[in-house]
Amino acid sequence: MEKNQYLDMFIDESTEHLQAMNDNLLKLENAPDDHSIIDEIFRSAHTLKGMAATMGYEDLASLTHQMENVLDGIRNGKIAADSHLLDVVFESVDDLEAMVNDIADGGEGKRDVTAVVAKLEKIENGVSVDEVAATVEKTTVPVKESSTGVRFDDFEITVLKQSKEQGFNAYYVNVLLREDVILKAARVFMAFEVLEQIGEVIKSVPSVDQLEEENFDLDFSVTLVTKESVEDVHSRIMKVSEIDRVDIVTIDADTINDQEQPSEGAVEAAEEILEQEDTKDDKPSTSQQKESKGAQGTNKTIRVNIDRLDSLMNLFEELVIDRGRLEQISSDLKSSELTETVEHMSRISGDLQNIILNMRMVPVEQVFNRFPRMVRGIAKDLNKKVHLEIIGAETELDRTVIDEIGDPLVHLLRNSMDHGLEMPAKRLESGKSEEGQVTLKAYHSGNHVFIEVADDGAGINREKVLEKAIKSGVVSEENGATLTDNQVYELLFSSGLSTADKVSDLSGRGVGLDVVKNKIESLGGNVTVTSKPNEGTTFSIQLPLTLSIISVMLVEIQDEIYAVPLSSIIETAIIKKDEIMAAHNQKVIDFRGSVVPLLDLTEFFDVPVTKEDDDFYSIVIVRKGEKMAALVVNSFIGQQEIVLKSLGDYLTNVFAISGATILGNGQVALIIDCNSLIK
């Protein structure tokens, strides 16, 4: 079978199944007796195993098979699905993810998973999770007694004893080649070369001469003296191709008997694992359980490079501009046939536009899905109880933005759990529940998507932040005294500033929030922080939708035309001059019982005045979140769909202007960024 033909499909489907397993394992932890959840996890694992076996990724298939056995035990009520057991299953899923990522990067999906397989085997055989943790180090690598009876002479025993005194380990290593091996002697030579790089081979069975002449079946064994661990020796030999398995027994030089090999303790360990191997062999093999992929869903999908979508979007933008010009020409010529044709073309291009835009939009759910599992792990590390609530996962963002926001959100979530939430005992003292709440929320507002990470912790300690900022040289002591609370909180985004008392795996190095700020700003967004003592902290990220084609209302400001995005507009109105009031040196109006600030765009954009004021003002009411503003314009032209073009590299950071567009008559109109105006 030509693997490359199906590789992309395999990687996509494997990623989906792993995500489903992560999600359902988290649900299972809260509802361990819910058989429907166990069935879902089992189904995902079984499908993944079938796909991996079909594609020839045996390591992936065998680990999934071992996981399946444990899941089957949970399903049949033989094994209890407690938190400790799920830690082992999560560890298996992590290994599976690493293998799939390796395959996606062009690798073969190889990984040393002997440690986690040993844990799963023991759990399957009724050993408690605590006992597994205590004994797993002794049997990390599968041990199997070799059929070759090895004897050590007095000299070899002396070498083994002296090596032990000098801090060396002695291992009995049995190597089994694959049945389809082509050059046995070459594989033996490569294995010996690997072993001699890390230690000394003091004996081999068969002898080196017999091995060179290929005078052996498929397995051979060596006695190795080295300072490396069992795991290192195992992983190094397994890197030689066409090797099926490697079994290692630690030799105790003090108790060794030259008539008996391996040592008594090693034989017991070998027999114990042999029993497990025998019980495992009774079960159906991976190849017998391959799953047909034909039964999976009928949805047909095709993967398209994002660059091609960008090219398609650019071509369509030109088409939209030409459509606008044709509409202008048909209205000037008043030709009914031309008008009908242009109207039909407008409808068709409108449908085409929606399809192209939707092709680029992806729910933020793709990023959010990996966080519940991460939060569970961090909460365990911190010994805190944390509940993660996700709101608005269906909110859609442009694919290019989706790819970039994962890392900033990881930083913010870790920050909330480490710095924001208190320890359970301290929360109880403060009259809160011992379980902390972290909320991840996404929603649309205007032409932007907002993502908020909020916690109900202790809030930000103003004095502590200021003290650290002064100590780090971020702000001077004189300036620090004049800063407002929000300005102090903004100092957290400074490079090198950390409020952690000690450096840990999670925090304390002063990198994190400055990285978040830089990344969000590089995407054309911004990040802010608000906090209340003992109530919690909220980080808010504002991101552009990056839609190239948007609906706007065209307005006239003197003789110039500007575009106001429809998504920001509440309504338009005409007010009398005497309805305008003043408050705090700011013009305001009473809009449906709310006091709304009035902004004259002629003054704001410094537009040359060509029209005289009259007693009536045309206003556009715009909103960002809960805040509103009234923009004074000269007249309304009407609604239109326009192409959003950036202002280019020469006009970066122009305040309150998000871009420009070319109208049907060839004239350029600037697009107003209402969010910036209100802010």
The residues assigned a catalytic role are 46, 68, 415
Angle, CA of 95, 113 and 374, to the nearest 5°: 25
Residue 401: other Cβ atoms inside 10 A: 20
Farthest CA pair distance, the chain: 114
* Beta carbons of 306 and 400 less than 8 angstroms apart: yes
The token pair that represents 83 in the structure block: 């938190």
Question: Secondary structure of 216-234 in the HEC alphabet?
Answer: CCCEEEEEEEECCCHHHHH
Tell me the C-alpha distance between 439 and 427, whole Å.
17
Tell me the C-alpha distance between 200 and 160, whole Å.
11
Query: Dihedral (C-alpha) 35, 39, 41, 42: value to the nearest 10 degrees?
Result: 130
* Beta carbons of 247 and 142 less than 8 angstroms apart: yes
Q: What DSSP line would sit under 456-476, residue for residue?
A: -SS---HHHHHHHHHHTTSS-
Angle, CA of 232, 230 and 214, to the nearest 5°: 85
CB within 8 Å of 226: residues ≥ 6 apart = 168, 169, 171, 195, 198, 199, 200, 233
By DSSP bridging, strand 627-633 and strand 594-600 are parallel
* Beta carbons of 237 and 191 less than 8 angstroms apart: yes
Q: Report which DSSP code applies to 511.
A: -
Positive or negative torsion for Cα 625, 630, 634, 636:
positive
